[in-house]
Amino acid sequence: MSVLEEKVSKTITDIENLHALVSKMHWNELNREGFVFELERATKRLSEIYSELMELNREMTLMLEKNTPDINEVLVEIKRELIILQSNIQMEKSKKLRDALVNETEKIEIPELYASLQQKILRLTLKARYSTEKVKGFLVARKVPFVQKGSTAKNLLELLQRKEDELRELTKKHHELKRKGFFNSGEKSIAEIEHELFDDDKQLALALEDAKKSLKIHFAQIEYVQGSFVSLSKKVESIDSLHEKFTKNAIELIKELKKDRDFARTSALEIEQENIRNRGDLTNKMIDIEKEKSELKDKARAKYFQDMDKVKKELAEKSQVITNLSKLVEEQEKEISILKKKVKNNDRDELIKVQQNEPMKTE
C-alpha cells in the first residue's frame, strides 16, 4: 500500500469515527453546556478532516492525470460550514438573554438549533466520505492493468464518471427547485424567512419598549391625561398580546420549517449514501469481471501453447519414425539389389557350365 493510500484509509477512518461520535446521542436533548462541549469536539475533528482532505487534494493535483477526482466543491463547503460552526460556538459561549422574550434568570435552550447543527455535521461527514471514496476508487482503478490497456474498461469508467456528474447536477437542480417552491414562498429561502421574522420581532420589541416609555411619561402626568392613560394602557396591552402571539407563532413556524428541512436533508443523504454504495458495488463487479476475463485469456493462451508444444513434439516423433523407415527401406533396397546381382551372376555361371558340359555329352 502506497503512502497516499494509507492517507486515504486514515481519512476514511477519521470520518467514520466522527460520524459515530456525532450520531451516538441526540443533541436536541442536551443542555447548553453539553451542546457546546459536543459542538467544539465535533468541529475540531471536522477541521482535522478538512486538513487531511486538503492534503489529499494537493497530492492528487500533483499527479497531473486526466481523470483525477475533483473534491474542491466539498472542501469549499466544509470550509464555509466550519466558519459558521465556530460562530455558533462563540455565540453560545457569550449569549445574553433578551428581556423581551424570557426572564433573566431562565436558561435559553434551542433543541431545534442543536439538532440542525448535528444534522449539518452528519451531512458534511457523508459528503467528505463520498469524496474520499472517489479518491480511493481512483487509486484502486489506477493500479489495475486493464484500465491502462483495455478500452472497454476505460470506457466503462468514463461512463460512470459522466453519470456521476449528471447525478450531481440533477441533485443541485432538485435542491434549487425545492427551495423555490417550498411552501409557495416565492424566491425566499428558509433562512430569509427566518431573518425577516426576527426583524419583525425586533421591530415589535422596539415598539413595545417605546410604548412602555410613553406609559411612564404619562404616569407622571396622570392627573392631566387620565383618558390618554387608559387608552395608552389598552394599546400597550394590545401590542404586548400581539407581540406574544406573533413570537409564539413565529417560533412554531420556524420549528416546523426546520423539521421539514431536516427530514428532507436526511432523506437526500440516505439516497446519496445508497447511490455511493451501489456505485462502489458496480465498480468492484467490473474490476472482478475484468480480472476473470484476464485470467481466462491467460489460461486459454497457456493451454494453446501447451497443445502446440505437444503437437510439435508428436510431429517431430513421427518425422523421426518416417526418417528411420526411409533409411530402413533404402537399406533393404540395397540388399535386394545386391541379392539380384548375386542371383544374376549365379545364373550366368550356371549357364556357362551347362554350355561347357553339352559338347561333352555329344561325343
Flag the least confident range among 156-165, 278-287, 301-310: 156-165
pLDDT, greater one: 56 or 355: 56
Residue 48 has pLDDT above 90, yes or no: yes
SS3 of the chain: helix, strand, coil, percent, to 5: 85, 0, 15
Phi, psi angle pair for 61, to nearest 5°: -65, -40
Report pTM.
0.43
Please tell me the predicted confidence (pLDDT) of residue 99. 40
**148, 54 contact by CB (below 8 A):** no
In this predicted structure, the answer to whether residue 56 has a pLDDT above a threshold of 70 is yes
Q: Check whether 13 has a pLDDT greater than 80.
A: yes
**Each residue of 190-241: pLDDT tens digit?**
556 666 766 776 677 677 677 767 666 665 666 555 666 667 777 778 887 8
Over the stretch 63-120, which tens digit does the pLDDT of each residue have?
777 778 888 888 999 999 899 888 888 887 776 544 434 444 445 567 888 888 888 8
Domain-wise residue ranges, the chain = 1-143
User: Rounded to an integer, what distance in angstroms lies between the CA atom of residue 316 and that of residue 311?
Assistant: 8
Give the Cα-Cα-Cα angle 192, 197, 201 (nearest 5 degrees): 145
Asked whether the beta carbons of 57 and 8 are under 8 A apart, the reply is: no
Asked if pLDDT for residue 322 goes beyond 50, the answer is yes
Q: What is the mean pLDDT of residues 274-295?
A: 85
Q: Residue 127: pLDDT above 80?
A: yes
The larger pLDDT score, comparing residue 211 to residue 155, is at: 211
Residue 106: the pLDDT is 46
CA 190 to chain centre: 28
Rounded to whole angstroms, the Cα distance separating 281 from 188 reads 40
Segment 242-281, tens digit of pLDDT? 878 888 888 888 888 888 888 888 888 888 888 888 888 8
How crowded is residue 313: how many other Cβ atoms within 10 Å of its Cβ?
10
Q: Which of 26-35, 92-101, 179-188, 195-204 has the lowest mean pLDDT?
A: 179-188
Distance CA 89, CA 81 (A): 12
Kindly state the average pLDDT of the residues 330-338: 86
At 175 the pLDDT is 59
Q: What is the reported pLDDT for 17?
A: 92
Report d(CA 228, CA 233) in Å as an integer: 8
% of the chain at pLDDT higher than 90: 6
The C-alpha atoms of residue 200 and residue 206 are separated, in whole angstroms, by: 10
Report residue 80: phi and psi, to 5°: -65, -45
> How many distinct helices (H) and strands (E) make up the chain?
8, 0
| Averaged pLDDT, 155-176 | 61
Q: Which of 52-66, 146-160, 178-192 has the highest mean pLDDT?
A: 52-66
pLDDT score at 101:
45
Q: Which has more confidence, 310 or 174?
A: 310
